[in-house]
Structure 1
C-alpha cells in the first residue's frame, strides 16, 4: 500500500499518546529509581520510541509504505468489519486465510485488506494481532506504531531485568546487548512481523530458563506457551534454533553427575537426535514456513537464486561464492554464511545510511570478537559452580547464534533482508562476547558500572 505522508491527524494522536506513555514511564522510573538498573529505563524507553518512529518515517517517506503500513491497513479493515458484522470479525480473527480466496464480507464499506498480506497467514496474523490495539489509535498508523514501540520496550526491559538477576555478566553489558542495539531497535520495534517474533523469542527464552532453573510460576508457563505460538505463527523456523540448543543443554544437565560412560553415551545420543532434527527439518514438510518445503535444499536454492537474479528485489545483494545451493554447498558454506550474518555488510559495502549503521555494528562486533580471541588464555577458564546459570545460558546463546546465523546467511541474499532476519541473533552474540567480562563482585549484581 502507498502511504504518502504522515497527516496532522497522525501527529495529534501520536503526540497525545506519547505524552501519556512518557508520563507513565516517568512515574515507573520515579517509583523504582533507587534500583540502579533503572538508570537504563528511561533511556531505553525513549530509544525504542525514537527507533520506532525512525522505522515508520523511512518506510513512509523512502519506500512509500510497505509491510508495516499494510499491517496497519489490514487492522483497519478488520476494525471496519467489526462495526459492520461483529460475528464475521471474530470469525476472521480465528480463521486461517486461504490463498486466492477473499471472504464475501469484505466490501467497499469495510475496505479490502492488502491481498498479498491476506494470502500469507503469518503476515495476516500481524493484522489480526494489531486489530484490537488499533481500536484505540483512531485509525492513525503512526499511533499504532507507537503502541508497538511501547509494548516491545516493555518486553525487552523485562528480559533485561531477568538477565540482570540471572547472569553474572555486568549490568552495563547486558544493557548494551539487550536494550540499545540499533539494528534490533530499528527492525524489532514498530508494526513489523520482526517485532512480534523478537518479542515472543525473548518471552520464550526467559520462560524456558525460569522453568529450567525452577524459578517459574503459572504465569510464566502461560506466557511461554503464548510466545511459542506467536513464533510458530509468524516465523516458525526460529523454533528449531531454540529447541536444539535447549535439548542439548537439558541432556548435559541431566547427566552431569553420572559416570563418564553414561555421560558420554547420553550426550552422544542427544547430539545425534539434535542432528537428526536438523536432517528432518532439511527434508520435511511445510511447517517451517518460508524456510522449508518438501526439500530445504530446493527452497534455499530457489530463495538464494531469486534474490541474486530477480531485479524486482531492490537493494544490494551479497554472494557467498556459490552458484547453486545443494547438499554439498549447504555444508561447505556454513562458515561463510555464519560470518556473513554476524559481521556483514562491511562498511565499504554500504550504499545507504541503514547499511552504514549495519556496517558500523558489524565492525564493532568484529573488534570485540578479536579482542576476546586475544584474551583467550585469560577468559577460557571454566565457570565456577556458582555460575551454572550463566554457563547454561551462554551455551544456549552460542548454539542459537550458530544455527540461526547459518540459515539466515544462506537464504537472505539481500543485505536489507539480512539485517531484518539477523536482528534476533545480535543480542545473544553480544551476551556471549560479554560473558567473558563477568561481574567481579557481589556489588555488581545490584550496581551497574
Structure 2
C-alpha cells in the first residue's frame, strides 16, 4: 500500500457508504435492515485486512500478484486508452500492439487468474489504480451476492434470520478471504447470485428479470474463475427444484410416478452440464478429475509451510480411490484444523470456526436424535440441497488442498450453506416442540419473509 491509498481510501469509503445507505431501504425490511451496514462494514474490513496481512505478514502473495498485473494494464491505459482496453478484453491471444505489456504478465495466458486481473483493471480505471480502493470494490461486488444469498435464506426460513445473518456475513474466514482483491471474493459473490437466481426462477417464480440477469452473470463469473463451484452446485440444486415442485403435486400417485423421471432428468442435466462446461479444460475436465486431484494434492502438500499439511490417506487419482478418501475429505473440510493443529494466528481462527461447526453438528444430532435429524434433512428440500452441496464441495476441496493454508480459502463457499443448514434445522426441531405455545410464529415469519 502506498500514500495514495491513505489519501483516496477514505474518500471512496464515503462514496460507497453513501451508495449503501441510499440502497438500503430498497433491499431490506424491518428485520434485515440492521444487518446491512454491519455486513458491508466487515467486508470492507476484510478487504483492507487481507491486504495488510499479505503486505506485512506474508510479504507478498496472490493479491499483490493480481495488483502487479493491473499496474501493467494501467500503464498501458495511460500510454493509450485503446491499449488498456485491448488488454482488458484480451483472452491470452498474441497481439503485436500489446506484446510490450503482455510479455511482463506471468498470468496473461492463465485464463482464470487473468479474468481477475481484467476485473481489477476495470476497477483500477475508476480509482487511479489504487490497491486498497480496488480491494474495496471487490468487497462491494462480493457483498451484493452475499446479500442476495442472505435474503434468499430469509425467504426460506424467516424466523431464523438472526442466525442466518451470522452464517452468511460474520464468519471470520469468510469475510476475510472472501472480500479482498482475490478470486475467492468474486466466486462467493457469484455463488450468492446463482443461489438467489435458482430459487427465484425455479421455486418461488418471482423477480424473474433480476434473477435471470444476475444469475447469468454469476454463472459467467464462476465458469471464468472456479467452474468446480458451479459443478458442485448444479446436481443438488436440480434435486432441490424437483423436491420443492414435487411436494406441490396433490396426487400422491402422480408424485410417485414423476419422481424417478425427474431424478433421471436431473442427473442427466447435471452430467451434460458438467461434461460440456469442462470438456477439454486442463484443470476441470470430468474425465481427468481424479488425476488432477492427485496432482493438486501432491503439489500443495509438498509446498506447505509451517507444518500445516494433512493426510487423508492413499490417493492414486482414480475415482474409486476418491470414493475411499471421501469421508475423511468431508471431515477435514468441515471440522479441521483442530485447535492443536493450528500453527499460526490465522489458523487459530480457522480452528475455532471448525470447532464451532463440530459443536453445532454434534449438539444438533444429540438433542434432536440421529434418525429425526436425517428425517428433517429429507423432509425439507432446502436442507437436502445444502447438505448434498456441502458434501460434494467438501470432497472436492478436501482431496485437492493437502494443507490447511489453502483449505481455509478453498472451503469458504461451503461454510455459509453448512452453518445456515444447521441453524435452519435447529429452528425446525425447536419449532416442532414449541408449536403449541407459539401460535403466532407463522404470522411473524411471514412478516420477516415478505420483503426479503
Q: Under TM normalisation by the shorter chain, which class is it?
A: 0.7 to 0.9
Length, aligned pairs only = 431
**Range moving further from structure 2, 313-322 or 257-266:** 257-266
Distance 1:232 1:30 in 2: 32
- Asked whether the equivalents of residues 255 and 266 of structure 1 are also in contact (C-alpha less than 8 Å), the reply is no
Partner of 2:206: 215
Determine which of 71, 84, 98 is the counterpart of 1:105: 98
Kindly report the root-mean-square deviation, in angstroms, between the aligned alpha carbons of the 2 structures.
3.2
Are residues 186 and 290 of structure 1, via their aligned partners in 2, closer, same or farther at CA, if it must alter by over 3 Å? farther
Is residue 184 of structure 1 aligned with residue 184 of structure 2?
no
Q: Equivalents in 1 of 2:104, 2:443: separation in Å?
A: 55
Match of 2:308 among 305, 316, 319: 316
- Going from structure 1 to structure 2, the CA distance change for 1:88 and 1:176 (only over 3 Å counts) comes to same
Taking the TM superposition and a 5 Å limit, the aligned residue runs for 1:50-449 are: 50-97=45-92, 104-107=97-100, 113-115=104-106, 117-212=107-202, 213-253=204-244, 255-256=246-247, 257=249, 259=253, 262-263=257-258, 265-266=260-261, 269-270=264-265, 273=268, 285-287=279-281, 290-292=283-285, 294-310=287-303, 316-322=308-314, 324-377=316-369, 380=373, 391-436=380-425, 437-438=427-428, 440-446=441-447
Distance 1:143 1:31, change over 3 A: same
Structure 2 counterpart of 1:15, from 10, 13, 25: 10
CA deviation map 1:254-282 (0-9, x unaligned): 55536265245325534764786699699
- 1:104: Cα distance to partner? 4.9
Displacement of 1:376: 2.5
Alpha-carbon distance in structure 1 between the residues aligned to 2:368 and 2:58: 45
Contact 1:303 1:411 in 2 (8 A): yes
- 241-250 vs 418-427, which moves further: 241-250
Give unpaired runs (5+ residues) of structure 2.
432-440
Q: What is the CA distance between 1:67 and its match in structure 2?
A: 1.4
Question: Which protein is richer in helix relative to its size?
Answer: 2
Provide the C-alpha distance between the structure 1 equivalents of 2:180 and 2:169, rounded to a whole number of angstroms. Answer: 15
Whether contact under 8 Å (2:5, 2:133) holds in the other structure is yes
Aligned equivalents of 1:263 and 1:128: distance in 2?
46
When structure 1 is superposed on structure 2, of 223-232 and 24-33 the one drifting more is 24-33
Q: Is the 8 A contact 1:149 1:189 kept in 2?
A: yes
1:172/1:262 Cα in 2 relative to 1: closer, same or farther (>3 Å)? same
Kept after mapping to 1: 8 A contact 2:222/2:229: yes
Q: CA deviation at 1:28?
A: 5.3
Shift, 1:140, TM fit:
1.6
Give the drift of 1:357: 0.4
Q: Deviations over 1:154-179 (max 9, x none)?
A: 33223323332343451101101111
**Aligned counterparts of 1:112 and 1:295: Cα–Cα separation in 2:** 31
Distance 1:281 1:398 in 2: 25
Q: Is the CA contact 1:238–1:404 (under 8 Å) kept in the aligned structure 2?
A: yes
The TM-score, its normalising length taken from structure 2, stands at 0.85
Task: Name 1:37's counterpart in structure 2.
Answer: 32
Against the structure 1 CA distance between its residues 295 and 9, is the aligned structure 2 distance closer, same or farther, given a 3 Å change threshold? Answer: same
The verdict on how the C-alpha distance between 1:353 and 1:274 changes in structure 2, with shifts beyond 3 A counting, is farther
Instruction: Tell me how far apart the structure 1 counterparts of residues 273 and 27 of structure 2 sit (CA, whole Å).
Output: 45
Contact 1:344–1:359 under 8 Å retained in 2: yes
Question: In structure 2, what is the Cα distance between the partners aligned to 1:427 and 1:309?
Answer: 30
Alpha-carbon contact 1:160-1:175 (below 8 Å) kept: yes
TM-score for the superposition, normalised by structure 1: 0.86
